Structure 1
Amino acid sequence: MYITVTKQTLDGNFTQSVSDFVAYLEKENEGKSIDEMEHFFNQYGEEISGKEVVKEIDGNTAKLKKTEPKFYSITVNPSAYELKRLQNHSEELKQYTRELMKEYAKSFNREINGRAVTVDDIKYYAKIEHQRTYKGTDKQIQENQPYATKILQIKNDIRKIESGELEGNIRKLHQTMSRLEKEAPHQQDGKRIVRGMPKGGSQSHIHIIVSRKDMSNKYSLSPGSKYKASETVFNGKPVKRGFDRDKFFKASEKTFDSLFQYKRNYVETYKARKTFLKNPKLYFSILSGMPTNEKATAYKILAKSGVPIMNIPTNKVQLALKIINKFKKGIDRAIQSGSIGI
């Protein structure tokens, strides 16, 4: 499970309205029948239109400055192993989202009218998507790039030959291009993987739009707060503030495991990822000390996610920075592609 919490972009890519983001999330419905479409939903409602989402989020921004985000985006990326546990991706991920948002509310160190924040205070709209496309940051695209560059050059040469700007054998160039297409290291369904190509396998994930303001449009609830839990003074009164991301991320795993009786391997946990980033030596030590079956599963998960597998370091010499960075780079790539939750 890999979850990101991102504030609304306020640069040239997005306007002050949520409309562009909603339109982006509606893209997967293009060309589908009504029965095949995935609609927005929230804690208690189904089949909510994009128009209503825009109206509700844009209208819930009282006293927010132009330079302040009006909403946050939460993206929930289950791993292939987690998705395999589900029987009905759409319905079960909706169920999971509603339980997850209860944990989201609990992660705020805030009070509203003297009580803790609950999910009923959170204005959000979520949508399930089932497709992903390859991006420039994906390992497959980067390692196929030298072949893509050569193929593009050949196509340009062919056009110049056809227009009389260059002399050459078009038939041979087509043969070379065909060979390069097949030699590219990453293929899918017999074709070279290129940017924008839909990824194979289960790719279901969740997008959640969360208003910066609570349901009453009076209180600001920011998951982007740099504070986990603290107090400040506002209008002469002590006010609690903060959002505990660690608590939220850990709860997201426990919620999934509880709902779907999922047995999580160590390398799939948020705790393991943090341990690797802060103390690689401890990470490798834990990995090497795992029971044989669990360790084998851990290696399988890492390998399928595009992480370079090597012998687990057992001493300080093997834990050289070069090795650690290589391993970390592999994990970072896997995370960016949304294919692993570690």
Structure 2
Amino acid sequence: MFINITPSATGDNKGSSGALVNYLEKENHLQIEKGWGYGQENWFNGSGNEIPRQEVRAKIDRNIRKLGRNESKFFLINISPSQKEIAHLINRYGEPGAKEKLKDYAVKAMDEYARNFKRTGIESHKDLLWFGKFENFRYYSHKDKAVKNGTRQKGERKEGKQMHIQIIVSRKDITNTIKLSPENNSKGKNVAHSAKLGQFNRNAFKQSGENLFDDFFDFDRGLKDTLKYANTMKNGTVQQKAQMQLLNEIFQQDAVQNHIIDGFSKDVVNGAFESVGQMVASMAPSGLSLLDILLEPVYEVPQVNPMELPKRKKKKGIDQSHGFHR
């Protein structure tokens, strides 16, 4: 599940939302122009599914009390399931049903967005002013490698199932009194600042979106497809990466329960283990034969004949085999 928050697809969120609303109507225009036969898609939120674009623009543009000229007025949230997740939805609900279920998911995701601010009175999507737009396709842009090398044209539809949802959410809450900005990433470290302006942890929001999808749709996500795994392999220490890779190998064993691996992966992210060996040792009380799994041939320590070990080379008083001064 890919979830990100940006100022706007048009690059500006300090003025009217009109340009963004019109941009997100592109698929409705293409439906008519190309005759795709999918029908027109109106906007939705937790209160309705047939909201016209004029209402979206008017309500977002009016909800800006006490916001300065150079302050953000709204944000764009992109909710994009992976190909595996889309296939799961279609297999379970059919294509029309998958679309409606994804809208239901978006409402719950906005509940998580609201709660992430940890502000009194901001408890669910009902406390926000927001509008979602379902889209069936994605399109090649000038940034895509395929367009740059000439194999695809700008504006051409991308292959595969590409259903996703774009959400415009106002900077101000539904009462037009409380400022809510996902750009405030204090994460609660500054207590006084957070109490006054709220806080927003983007990683926590993205993780909640992944957890919500798995629970809501009974989706069995492999460890390698989790946000924890991706973030660790990108930003983790060498030890954390090794630990996560080993957990992924263990995860693929039928005898290991998913929640056990999930717990260990969270510990890896939190830096609970100094080494792979310490992580392995901590698995013993789990009640599963995890150590047996680790002793599969791929993890066996090779037996070496001491007589075959290379002789140490000495140079200028340094033991080259260990790097110690003698």
Fold shared per TM-score above 0.5: yes
- 1:233–1:248 Cα change, 3 Å: closer
CA offsets 1:97-135 (integer angstroms, 9 cap, x no match): 0111111111112123xxx53322111000110111123
Partner of 1:110: 119
The answer to whether structure 1 residue 228 and structure 2 residue 160 are counterparts is: no
Instruction: Select the structure of larger CA radius of gyration.
Output: 2
Moved over 6 A (4+): none
| Identical positions, percent | 32
The answer to whether structure 1 residue 28 and structure 2 residue 27 are counterparts is: yes
What does residue range 2-21 of structure 1 map to in structure 2 within 5 Å? 2-8=2-8, 16-21=15-20
The alignment covers a number of residue pairs equal to 242
CA offsets 1:194-218 (integer angstroms, 9 cap, x no match): 3322111100111000000001101
What does residue range 64-103 of structure 1 map to in structure 2 within 5 Å? 64-86=67-89, 87=93, 88-103=97-112
Amino acid at match of 2:234: L
Q: What secondary structure sits across from 2:49 in the alignment?
A: coil
TM superposition shift of 1:293: 7.8
- 1:245–1:15 Cα change, 3 Å: closer
CA offsets 1:145-193 (integer angstroms, 9 cap, x no match): 2xx4xxxxxxxxxxxxxxxxxxxxxxxxxxxxxxxxxxxxxxxxxxx43
- 1:27–1:242 Cα change, 3 Å: same
Q: TM-score, normalised by structure 1?
A: 0.64
TM superposition shift of 1:92: 1.1
Partner of 2:297: none
Given the alignment, which residue of 52, 55, 64 partners 1:52? 55
Given the alignment, which residue of 195, 200, 217 partners 1:260? 217
- Matched residues in 2 for 1:110 and 1:225: separation? 13
CA offsets 1:280-315 (integer angstroms, 9 cap, x no match): 6333542245347849xxxxxxxxxxxxxxxxxxxx
Identify which of structures 1 and 2 has the higher relative contact order when contacts are C-alpha pairs closer than 8 Å and 6+ apart: 1
The answer to whether structure 1 residue 287 and structure 2 residue 293 are counterparts is: no
What does residue range 184-223 of structure 1 map to in structure 2 within 5 Å? 192-223=151-182
- Matched residues in 2 for 1:9 and 1:3: separation? 14
- 1:289–1:121 Cα change, 3 Å: closer
- 1:2–1:261 Cα change, 3 Å: same
Amino acid at match of 2:16: S
- Matched residues in 2 for 1:193 and 1:284: separation? 38
Amino acid at match of 1:78: P
The answer to whether structure 1 residue 272 and structure 2 residue 226 are counterparts is: no
**Contact 2:224–2:248 at 8 Å: present in 1 too?**
no
**Contact 2:232–2:244 at 8 Å: present in 1 too?**
no
Structure 1 residues not aligned, in runs of 5+: 149-191, 296-342
Partner of 1:330: none
- Matched residues in 2 for 1:137 and 1:10: separation? 14
- Matched residues in 2 for 1:10 and 1:201: separation? 25
- Matched residues in 1 for 2:193 and 2:163: separation? 43
Q: TM-score, normalised by structure 2?
A: 0.67
Structure 2 residues not aligned, in runs of 5+: 254-326
Query: What RMSD, in angstroms, separates the aligned Cα atoms of the two structures?
Result: 2.7
What does residue range 155-166 of structure 1 map to in structure 2 within 5 Å? none
The answer to whether structure 1 residue 136 and structure 2 residue 135 are counterparts is: no
TM superposition shift of 1:268: 1.7
TM superposition shift of 1:2: 0.9
Q: What secondary structure sits across from 2:68 in the alignment?
A: coil
Amino acid at match of 2:5: V
TM superposition shift of 1:3: 0.9
- 1:293–1:250 Cα change, 3 Å: closer
- Matched residues in 2 for 1:35 and 1:10: separation? 25
Q: What secondary structure sits across from 1:213 in the alignment?
A: strand
TM superposition shift of 1:74: 0.3
Partner of 1:61: 64
